[in-house]
Structure 1
Amino acid sequence: MSTVFASPSENGQTSGATGGASTSAASTPRRSAVAAVTNRLASPQTINFVDVPAQEYYSTNVFTKSVMKDRLPKSVYKSLVRTIDSGEKLDPEIADIVASAIKDWAMEKGATHYAHIFYPLTGATAEKHDSFLSPTADGSTLSEFSGKQLCQGEPDGSSFPSGGIRVTSQARGYTIWDVTSPAYILENPNGTTLCIPTAFVSWTGEALDKKTPVLRSMQALNKHAQRVLKVFGHTDGAFVASTAGPEQEYFLIDRNFYYARPDLLNAGRTLFGAKPPKGQEFDDHYFGAIPERVLAFMCEAERELFKLGIPVKTRHNEVAPGQFEVAPVFESANVAADHQQQMMLTLRKIAEKYGMACLLHEKPFAGVNGSGKHVNWSLGSSSQGNLLDPGDTPHDNAKFLVFCAAIIRAVYKHQDLMRAVVASAGNDHRLGANEAPPAIISIFLGDQLTDIFEQIKGGGANSSLPSGTLEVGVDVLPPLPKDAGDRNRTSPFAFTGNRFEFRAVGSNQSISGPLVAMNTIIAESVDFCAGRLEDALANDPDSLNSAVQSLLSEIVGECSAIIFNGDGYSEEWHREAAERGLLNLKTTADALPHLASPENTQMFAKYGVLSARELHSRLETYQEQYCMTVDVEANLAVNIARTMIFPAAIRYQNELASTCANLKVVGFEFDTETLDTVTALVKSLQDGIATLEYAIADDSAVAPEDACRHRCDAVLPSMLSLRETVDKLELIIADDIWPLPTYQEMLFIK
């Protein structure tokens, strides 16, 4: 029988940094943590996965269309579905009917409260719970839930980052029911809560959240995609939605190690840590057998995600030791963004049940691969299907080529924005390393599409490279159809068959920002394409083919510099990219100012996605978050170095000095090389602490951009210098003295 793993407290041990093993006076939190992990006991499996198959509980906690159909009058149901599927305006007259039905459904599932779920600019998920129960005059209660309560809530708008849109004296904010993202039940051992996804706006109607711009950008993209489809004779009006399937990478470590590392607990990443003797160089972890404890966690996490209607499909070991991945199938971009937030919460929550911590930071461990959130993006409609599906002969698929060319143009024109929306203090440690896309934005098309666009550049595409058949040379293996092109894991924006994969998104990010950027720049580019084609057909209704050829040639001729199919990690590419005129925005301090450039400000306003004030509020918020993140890390580094590393180094130095002195008394000469090295490193440690403290205190910047620059150019280098000293000490100081769990322990002890 499968097993799950109990926490130390369930086995009579003490959870946390001290573990449950008996300790001596010389014990460190690290040694106690190791003892707690290695003494962990397994408890019997409790999930009935045989008698209750997954298909029976999939979406059981979601107010799905099928539930709506069963519980709502036919006219109300049809009205809701038109809003969800076609983007029609929501009829406010049906709110009370829907509220009554959804309340009854939720209470049948044990709900006593409802919560408006929203996504402020913190990037986290926020929720405000209210009870269904209202007291009556006779001392009893009634369960109430009106259409107004469903549609509107009122959290404090000034207590979330808003870039100055809301302040304490102007605090009113509203949550507004998003009917396109289904309500769901949040389970707890002591009850359930009805959760209603909402937008979050100010009293002035300005967006304070991540969701509202996603919805606006999807609306803009649909509007202009309809124009291109009309040119090709498709006039059914089926809503063209952007879709997303974000892969989620994460690390798992035992929570005893987690609680023994103040840097992981407070910053989400290790600020110190020497490279272990074995890392990922053998590539033996990638797609390897999943450890039993981890697999038990995955099974339960997936079960909870299935109940919420989140279509997780893939699970596997990732490249780095202790790193894993879960990936869903495609959904409407707005729903995918909501589900991604729920997924992160679920992974963290279920990991705790198995005595582990789920690390979603982009770079929790130096020297091994960090974690990304590859956002697979496409667009399509119920009548046209996936508009990025090239078909068997893509050179003849004019509609596909127009949308594909629009995307090429969009990324070329707005490469700065694509880089800015993935900029964060955490992602800076990952982007540009030999594990993730470089900070230079480019597009990988693959051999087949590259060949087609080269033909277009030369005057017209007449053929497509054949896919062919894969020959392995083993008779018992069946022949396999071969893709027309290879994959490129070094590209930040890669075409992968019927979608583009934005690989630069950080693992801890909300995908909403990248979705807003992709939807909006592609809406702008599709608008451009639609205008060119409409003008040509207005002059000559039979000129569609020549108009498409002219448009594609123009885009390829102007924007082909963004197409790169080679090794994005190579130094040669960095030099070539510079020659092509592509941007290389290496840090958040470099990239963020581009978010609100005049061109981007104008574009977001033109397509009704973000006003200039809303966009600048985001820039200010993200700059502030970058500075606060670096400040927390810098202060942590000083604290850990002074109160944990320095005392350990002094103790070891004292042991060496005492040994040297004692041997000298009895006439033996003691080699002082190690003592000299430790003494020099202790001095370097003290100097490093002082230098970092000075860098922290030397912040005289007033403008947010200058504050980011100071942290990038002064604070972070000082932290790195201090780290180099600490990591050298870790490799010298006696094992029984070193206070912090090591990389070897955290990554390999499960």
Structure 2
Amino acid sequence: MSGNQPRMLAIAEINNREPMPVDMPEALSKIWATDVFNLATMEEALSKNAFKAMKNTVQTGAALDPGTADVVAAAMKDWAISKGVKFFSHIFYPMTNATAEKHDGFIITNSDGGAITEFTGSLLIKGEPDGSSFPNGSLRMTNAARGYTAWDPTSPAYIMHTDNGATLMIPSVFMSWTGEALDKKIPLLRSNAAMDKSARKVLSLMGETDIATLNSSCGAEQEYFLVDENFASSRPDLLLAGRSLFGAPPAKGQEFDDHYFGAIPERVQVFMQDLEDKLYRLGIPAKTHHNEVAPGQFEIAPYFESANVASDHQQMLMTLLKLTAKKHGFLCLLHEKPFAGVNGSGKHVNWSVGNSTQGNLLDPGSTPDKNLIFLLFCGAVIRGVHAYGPLLRAAIASAANDHRLGANEAPPAILSVYLGDQLEKLFMDIKEGKLNETAKGGEMDLGLTQILKFERDPGDRNRTSPFAFTGNRFEFRAVGSSQSVSGPLVAMNTMLADSLDWIAEKLEASLAASSNQTEAVIKVLQELMQQHGNVVFGGDGYSPEWHRMAVEERGLKNIPTTADALPALLEADVIELFKKTGVLTPVELASRYEVYAEQYILAIEVEAKLVVDMAKTLIYPAAMSYLSDLSSAISGAREVGVELDATVVNKVAAETGAMMKAVEELSSLIGKHDFDTTEDHMKFCADTIRGLMDEVREHADYLELEVSDELWPLPKYRELLFFR
């Protein structure tokens, strides 16, 4: 069989593909949240008292009594069965950035041998998966396996439809038998409670009396790549590692900037419409979609929701992206850097805090200099990023995200805060003890009568900042595209709670010493900016000058790899932060370090094994076949008296030999585990294993550009990135 046959067959399959039939999408009003057991559905299905109790729990986090749970369970079962559901599942989020499900039937048998359906409050409230078989950081041993899932009534249950049927999904938390958090949801709920408690202190000191429960909100912009499944099936690296471990850059990539916000390919548009139809039925408010910078790269962004629900919806979105892509003949890649030399993918987490009485506390309004509560909460964020920058970096650390952050392609691995011209000047004035009136953005006038004039924003955007203020929220731009948003939200909520506690303590003393509220607030913020203002930066975050200035002059940390980042979880100030806020116990925090470190090591080892396997079984045979063909051609020419230049033969032979030498060295080091500490093991993976993988790739990518196209076994970037 010819080495190129799978690739050629894939091209033929794509060229002969029949267009996928398109169903016209139904009206939003008909499909919105039809598969969600939300408050609107509950109001119809529950008694007045049960609905009132559920509404209070959803909106304030109030406790729910077991009797109400029984009523809710019965109504939820009837609603689900009416939609063809036969199974239910507590869905939870272990420390893997993935989702986990355990499906149970509603069915039980009676003494007559008949079958009936049953779903009680106790079944709704509690499930029992194995607590030792999920990543748990030594919290659970194999012989101590019990773990529990528990219903989270603040996130609505929903029905997930697949070709194999429908299942009632019940959002849940996951804990050990001894009560430790084994998931990403429990810390998120705890961090929100800590932030609410601390925010109330500040609001009360500012004279607010009617204070509803505060919640963080989240809107996560999701970037992803689509690759034709016919090509992806011939790429073991894409299938098993989520990124291409080999591949020379194509003649045309993203240099022309012609893909960004360009016309969406018809095949992708059909996929997007199908995806959004599914999302709307699940009550996920997908608002925006467009082409991203790189060819084959796209983005979808939802409207803001409460952080807990948004986190669940993000997990559902990633699942549906992959499932829907497969239906349309694509492989959806959520890896942060699936193609070397091509723009990578991130997940920009837009984050704010607020409630129903005070509104969005990070909205400056039209006169931010007079909005003292906004200034205090914005100042709290500035302090939090400065005090806990390494924690924020650890919260987004992964082997995949290192390809973006370490290379300074995405927002760099130095945590800084961008405020925009207007707010930066305001806070720098406060640092000097002044509070001046803020400048307006002015009117946008193009001198064209047919173009309406409008008020320009008072500040620009900054795409190079990892943590940027964007009008009424902060955007954490360095989160990885494949990551759960829960980890970053936990870190942001917890650092905010700590900073608000600091502000409350200072503000109480300042108000006691001054009868003027504005002066008291400015005094607190002046101290805050003098201690933490170094983290505010409005310039080019990619520039070498900033990297030098940030570290040498401002004392910020440049943390390029996960091996450098994760040890922050073991620092005394981070342990104390989570302990005093009640978000994570020291044991729970240590378990997360162990789990994330293990995931990092395993991810790199899997990639290294793939590099060895693909180099030996795919690339080396192709190179040797090409050398054989060239040698035969040279010999044949000599027989007829023609002397051909052997330079190419020599170069291909040298590169092949160098590649295999690096492969053998890499192979000998995979699985090396005799390290004194986990940190040493991570550093070995980051510095040695990754370096050898890059060396093998460098030789292989040279060979791709030299070996005959018909012999090359792997689909190339030009085929993977550009649709047909």
Q: TM-score, length-normalised on structure 1?
A: 0.95
Q: Does 2:533 match 1:560?
A: yes
The counterpart of 2:580, out of the listed 606, 611, 618, is: 606
Structure-1 separation of matches of 2:566 and 2:21: 50
Q: Does 2:559 match 1:571?
A: no
Partner of 2:185: 211
8 Å CA contact 1:701–1:710 kept in 2: the answer is: no
8 Å CA contact 1:245–1:330 kept in 2: the answer is: yes
SS in 1 for 2:182: coil
Partner of 1:476: 450
Q: Does 2:557 match 1:583?
A: yes
8 Å CA contact 1:84–1:179 kept in 2: the answer is: yes
Structure-1 separation of matches of 2:544 and 2:351: 29
The counterpart of 2:17, out of the listed 40, 47, 63, is: 40
8 Å CA contact 2:637–2:643 kept in 1: the answer is: yes
Structure-2 separation of matches of 1:515 and 1:44: 40
Structure-1 separation of matches of 2:437 and 2:53: 46
Partner of 1:622: 596
Partner of 1:293: 267
The counterpart of 2:234, out of the listed 250, 254, 260, is: 260
Query: Once the 2 structures are TM-superposed, how far is the Cα of residue 699 of structure 1 from its aligned partner?
Result: 4.0
Partner of 1:314: 288
For residues 467-514 of structure 1, give each alpha carbon's deviation from its aligned partner in whole angstroms, at most 9, with x where no partner exists: 211122222111021000000000000000000000000000001100
Q: Structure 1 residues 206 and 26, CA, compared in 2 at 3 Å: closer, same or farther? A: closer
Structure-2 separation of matches of 1:375 and 1:581: 26
Q: Does 2:427 match 1:453?
A: yes
Q: Does 2:194 match 1:194?
A: no
8 Å CA contact 1:321–1:747 kept in 2: the answer is: yes
Superposed, 1:14-413 pairs within 5 Å as 25=2, 27-45=4-22, 47-49=23-25, 52-413=26-387
SS in 1 for 2:347: coil
Structure-1 separation of matches of 2:318 and 2:18: 27
Whichever residue aligns with residue 99 of structure 1, its letter is A
Structure-2 separation of matches of 1:739 and 1:523: 54
Whichever residue aligns with residue 534 of structure 2, its letter is A
8 Å CA contact 1:154–1:174 kept in 2: the answer is: yes
For residues 340-389 of structure 1, give each alpha carbon's deviation from its aligned partner in whole angstroms, at most 9, with x where no partner exists: 00000001000011100100000000111100000000000011111111
Query: Once the 2 structures are TM-superposed, how far is the Cα of residue 434 of structure 1 from its aligned partner?
Result: 5.1
Whichever residue aligns with residue 678 of structure 2, its letter is P
Q: Structure 1 residues 26 and 443, CA, compared in 2 at 3 Å: closer, same or farther? A: closer
Query: Once the 2 structures are TM-superposed, how far is the Cα of residue 209 of structure 1 from its aligned partner?
Result: 0.2
SS in 1 for 2:96: coil
SS in 1 for 2:336: coil
Q: Does 2:641 match 1:667?
A: yes
Structure-1 separation of matches of 2:30 and 2:663: 58
Structure-1 separation of matches of 2:216 and 2:231: 41
Query: Once the 2 structures are TM-superposed, how far is the Cα of residue 539 of structure 1 from its aligned partner?
Result: 5.3
Q: Does 2:507 match 1:533?
A: yes
For residues 264-310 of structure 1, give each alpha carbon's deviation from its aligned partner in whole angstroms, at most 9, with x where no partner exists: 01000000000100010100000000000000000000000000000
Q: Structure 1 residues 288 and 387, CA, compared in 2 at 3 Å: closer, same or farther? A: same
Query: Once the 2 structures are TM-superposed, how far is the Cα of residue 82 of structure 1 from its aligned partner?
Result: 1.2
SS in 1 for 2:341: coil
Partner of 1:15: none
Q: Does 2:469 match 1:495?
A: yes
The counterpart of 1:551, out of the listed 521, 524, 539, is: 524
Structure-2 separation of matches of 1:188 and 1:625: 30
Query: Once the 2 structures are TM-superposed, how far is the Cα of residue 544 of structure 1 from its aligned partner?
Result: 2.4
Structure-2 separation of matches of 1:595 and 1:470: 47
Structure-2 separation of matches of 1:699 and 1:600: 28
Structure-2 separation of matches of 1:201 and 1:731: 52
Q: Does 2:687 match 1:713?
A: yes
For residues 577-635 of structure 1, give each alpha carbon's deviation from its aligned partner in whole angstroms, at most 9, with x where no partner exists: 11211000111100110122111011101111000000000000000000000000000
Structure-2 separation of matches of 1:280 and 1:152: 50
Q: Which range moves more in the overlay, 665-674 or 30-39?
A: 30-39
8 Å CA contact 1:467–1:481 kept in 2: the answer is: yes
SS in 1 for 2:101: strand
Query: Once the 2 structures are TM-superposed, how far is the Cα of residue 26 of structure 1 from its aligned partner?
Result: 5.8
For residues 648-692 of structure 1, give each alpha carbon's deviation from its aligned partner in whole angstroms, at most 9, with x where no partner exists: 000000111111111112211111111111111111111111121
Structure-1 separation of matches of 2:187 and 2:723: 43
Structure-2 separation of matches of 1:636 and 1:695: 14
8 Å CA contact 1:28–1:738 kept in 2: the answer is: no
Structure-1 separation of matches of 2:60 and 2:37: 19
SS in 1 for 2:706: coil
Query: Once the 2 structures are TM-superposed, how far is the Cα of residue 697 of structure 1 from its aligned partner?
Result: 5.0
Partner of 1:21: none
SS in 1 for 2:606: helix
Whichever residue aligns with residue 19 of structure 2, its letter is A
8 Å CA contact 2:416–2:535 kept in 1: the answer is: yes
Partner of 1:735: 709
Structure-1 separation of matches of 2:676 and 2:338: 31
Q: Which range moves more in the overlay, 139-148 or 623-632?
A: 139-148
Whichever residue aligns with residue 148 of structure 1, its letter is S
Q: Structure 1 residues 741 and 27, CA, compared in 2 at 3 Å: closer, same or farther? A: closer
Partner of 1:444: 418
For residues 418-466 of structure 1, give each alpha carbon's deviation from its aligned partner in whole angstroms, at most 9, with x where no partner exists: 1111110000001143531000000000000011111112222121011
SS in 1 for 2:405: coil
Task: State the number of aligned residues.
Answer: 723
Gaps of 5+ in 2: none
SS in 2 for 1:247: strand
Whichever residue aligns with residue 244 of structure 1, its letter is C
SS in 2 for 1:526: helix
For residues 686-737 of structure 1, give each alpha carbon's deviation from its aligned partner in whole angstroms, at most 9, with x where no partner exists: 1111121133254421421111111111100000000000000000000000
Structure-1 separation of matches of 2:668 and 2:699: 17
Structure-2 separation of matches of 1:66 and 1:43: 36
Structure-2 separation of matches of 1:310 and 1:649: 49
Whichever residue aligns with residue 33 of structure 1, its letter is A
Structure-2 separation of matches of 1:500 and 1:273: 36
Query: Once the 2 structures are TM-superposed, how far is the Cα of residue 534 of structure 1 from its aligned partner?
Result: 2.1
Partner of 2:495: 521
SS in 1 for 2:56: helix
Q: Structure 1 residues 65 and 698, CA, compared in 2 at 3 Å: closer, same or farther? A: closer
8 Å CA contact 1:533–1:544 kept in 2: the answer is: no
Structure-2 separation of matches of 1:91 and 1:435: 51
Query: Once the 2 structures are TM-superposed, how far is the Cα of residue 58 of structure 1 from its aligned partner?
Result: 0.5
**Same amino acid, percent of matched pairs:** 53
SS in 1 for 2:36: coil
